[in-house]
Amino acid sequence: MTTAVTLDRTVHLLHEETSRCATPATRRCATCRVSTLCLPGGLSEDDLQPLDSLLLTTRRVAAGQSIFAEGDPFRFIYAVRSGTCKTAMLRSDGREQVTGFHMAGEVMGLEGLAHGTHRLTATALEDGEVCLIPYERLVAATVATPGAKDLVRHLMGQEMERDHSIMVVLGLTDAGDRLAAFLLNLSERHASRGYSPREFHLRMSRGDIASFLGVKLETISRTFSSFQKRGFLEVSGRHLRITDLEGLKSAYGLRLR
Amino acid sequence: MTTAVTLDRTVHLLHEETSRCATPATRRCATCRVSTLCLPGGLSEDDLQPLDSLLLTTRRVAAGQSIFAEGDPFRFIYAVRSGTCKTAMLRSDGREQVTGFHMAGEVMGLEGLAHGTHRLTATALEDGEVCLIPYERLVAATVATPGAKDLVRHLMGQEMERDHSIMVVLGLTDAGDRLAAFLLNLSERHASRGYSPREFHLRMSRGDIASFLGVKLETISRTFSSFQKRGFLEVSGRHLRITDLEGLKSAYGLRLR
DNA sequence: CGAGGCATTGATCTCAGTCAACCAGCGTGG
DNA sequence: CCACGCTGGTTGACTGAGATCAATGCCTCG
């Protein structure tokens, strides 16, 4: 049932992409609130100009809508402008494996690079806006401008670094450790966006977190309760308040087993 | 004790790198046995020529030797020419987290891209040879030649795709599923190199596998025994023979929970 | 108002982590 | 040359964590 709906939306979206002229929301990076997150540091106004020639378009996405899907041709990379997204892969057993959560200023879709088609499906977790960066045009721009070259390098480097730090989390054998590491990571990312590192909304379901961390849904729920009982945090549905950040850190980080 | 030795070797290696002229083993990709694995398909002889201008050097590495280490400046990417390597990251609790195993024709070191320093340590698991590709010179070559551009794209794309498929494995909650997926992946990689997909040597220790898969060493050992008891494979130390590839696949893949 | 999705919680059982013993292979040094 | 210790691997016994199955509550949406 849900998959049918998602599929439907995807088809709709693909159509929307081809007739993209209907939404002529061409934007300039210079005016973007989260450009400091997308772009490498130290870019001057001059460096930004060639990027504007890429004619970046933005697209509004509703919660649940897919942004690109497994198998779609790789044409764009997608920067989250506002909102939160998840990326997932269909496992051979038919269930979906969540591979990441993406906040404003983070980029998705680079995994399509090698095969020319996307290997992941990206879905919006809340209403938001994504920025479509035409990959070929971006690469073409690198020839002329060092700024664009830095951008490509920055984006790919970040992606690979992110992937490896995820592997470190998934290398932990304890569910509590994994959830703590996950929450601390979310906390940091909120902080670097100017939001409170101690209080925020979880945009993803327990099931999504469970899939991402390689444990079962119920375990996530129980571990939240356990953290709450131990006084590390207060959780009510998807609202989270970390009351003892240090405690949470030491519960995970300082474990010297 | 062992770390001291490793450290010693690293220092030695760094010194070797600076006075690299001592090993003037400049190589051409065209003569490389595994070039079809490193390089994107459809490259002509003409495409290879500019790559040769990169003056690729090779370095012999002994088992246990480190190739690059966390914190080293990012200057090269490293293609495995022969042998097998592992990459690992130091976790905050002091233990090492293995992030990957790399066979001939696979590339390591791209994670250093964003920060300009390597975030992982690469270690040879057996005697072998790695190919040093000077990154800046490679990028410079992309301006002139489309072949080099394809190469960069190919290498990065592969890396990101690999990372995501690892995440899918780590998303499995069952230790048996994870090990089966891991072995099947090794099997495929052997097959694509012309070796038997059913019989090969594991180059890494049980501890390395455990770290990589996010389970404990003893669990790996037990799961091997269990697989053997169930007739999927025969294992003796690091020698592995898969006697029932289909059984192993279905034990992992066709699980329709 | 009812249905369905999401989350929590309980009971139970299995699996994997823990601690420890043991073995095989190997290099070292007496 | 053999004894020794070290490393890496296997196995056993036990325990605790997490998966499984199931019931219930909450909230939203139609």
What pLDDT is attached to residue B13?
42
pLDDT of A97: 95
Question: Per-residue pLDDT for A1 more than 80?
Answer: no
Q: Which of A28, A27, A26, A30 is nearest to A44 (CA)?
A: A30
Tens-digit pLDDT profile for residues B134-174: 998 888 887 777 777 788 888 999 999 999 999 999 999 99
Residues of A in contact with B212 (CB under 8 A): 171
**CA to C1' distance (Å), from A249 to C17:** 22
- The pLDDT assigned to B14 comes to 41
pLDDT (average), residues A62-82: 95
**Does A157 sit within 8 Å of B214, measured CB to CB?**
no
Measured CA to CA, the distance from residue B64 to residue B5 in angstroms comes to 9
Q: How far is CA A12 from CA A3, A19, A66, in A?
A: 14, 11, 10
Quote the CA–CA distance of B251 and A235 in Å, as a whole number: 38
Beta-carbon separation of A153 and B113 below 8 A? yes
What is the Cα Rg of chain A in Å?
A: 19
Higher pLDDT, B100 or B34: B100
Instruction: Classify burial at B55, counting beta carbons within 10 Å of its beta carbon; exposed 0-12, middle 13-18, buried 19 or more.
Output: middle
Does A43 have pLDDT greater than 80?
no
Are A157 and B113 a contacting pair at CB < 8 A? Answer: yes
Residue A256 CA, nucleotide C18 C1', distance (Å)? 15
Q: How far is the CA of A156 from the C1' of C4 (A)?
A: 41
Q: Which residues of chain A have a CB within 8 Å of the CB of B157?
A: 110-115
Question: Minimal CA–CA distance to A253: which of A193, A182, A160?
Answer: A182
Asked if residue B102 lies in contact with residue B119, where contact means CB atoms within 8 angstroms, the answer is no
| Per-residue pLDDT, A195 | 94
Residue A132: is its pLDDT beyond 90? Answer: yes
pLDDT at residue number B21: 35
Q: Given pLDDT bands bounded at 50, 70 and 90, which one contains residue B65?
A: very high
Most confident residue range from A61-65, A137-141, A209-213: A209-213
When pLDDT is cut at 50, 70 and 90, the band that residue A11 belongs to is very low
Nucleotide nearest to A237 (CA to C1'): C7
SS (H, E, C) B96-116: EEEEEEECCCCEECHHHCCCC
Does residue A171 approach strand C to less than 7 Å at its CB? no
B191 vs A54, residue with greater confidence? B191
Q: Which residue has the higher pLDDT, A158 or B56?
A: A158
Q: How many angstroms is C1' of D29 away from CA of A240?
A: 25
Give me the sign of the Cα torsion angle B249, B237, B193, B128.
Answer: positive
Q: Is the Cβ pair B172, A214 closer than 8 Å?
A: yes
Greatest mean pLDDT among A6-10, B66-70, B151-155 lies in B66-70
A-B CB pairs within 8 A amount to: 137
Alpha helices, H only, B53-202: 135-144, 146-170, 175-191
Task: Give the residue with greater pLDDT, A1 vs B94.
Answer: B94
Short-list A127, A131, A110, CA closest to A59: A131
Compute the mean pLDDT over every residue in chain A, rounded to the nearest whole number.
Answer: 84
Averaged pLDDT for residues B92-96: 86
List domains and CATH numbers for chain A: 2-162 (2.60.120.10), 171-251 (1.10.10.10)
Compute the residue count for chain A: 257
Beta carbons of A97 and B171 less than 8 Å apart: yes
What is the reported pLDDT for A38?
76
Q: Which residue has the higher pLDDT, B32 or A137?
A: A137
* Cβ partners under 8 Å of residue A192, min gap 6: A37
Choose among B205, B224, B166: nearest CA to A171: B166
Query: Which tokens belong to B131?
Result: 């190919």
Residue partners of B256: CB distance under 8 A and separation at least 6: A93, A94
pLDDT at position A225? 96
Which of A56-70, A93-107, A146-160, B197-211 bottoms out in mean pLDDT, i.e. has the lowest? A146-160
Q: Is the CB of A217 under 7 A from strand C?
A: yes
Look at residues B130, B138, B154 and name the one whose alpha carbon lies nearest to residue B43: B154
Q: Which nucleotide is nearest to A174 (CA to C1')?
A: D17
Q: List, for residues B214-256, the tens digit of each pLDDT value.
A: 999 999 999 999 999 999 999 999 999 999 998 898 877 654 4
**pLDDT tens for residues B99-126?**
999 999 999 999 999 899 999 999 999 9
Q: Is the Cβ–Cβ distance between B249 and B184 less than 8 Å?
A: yes
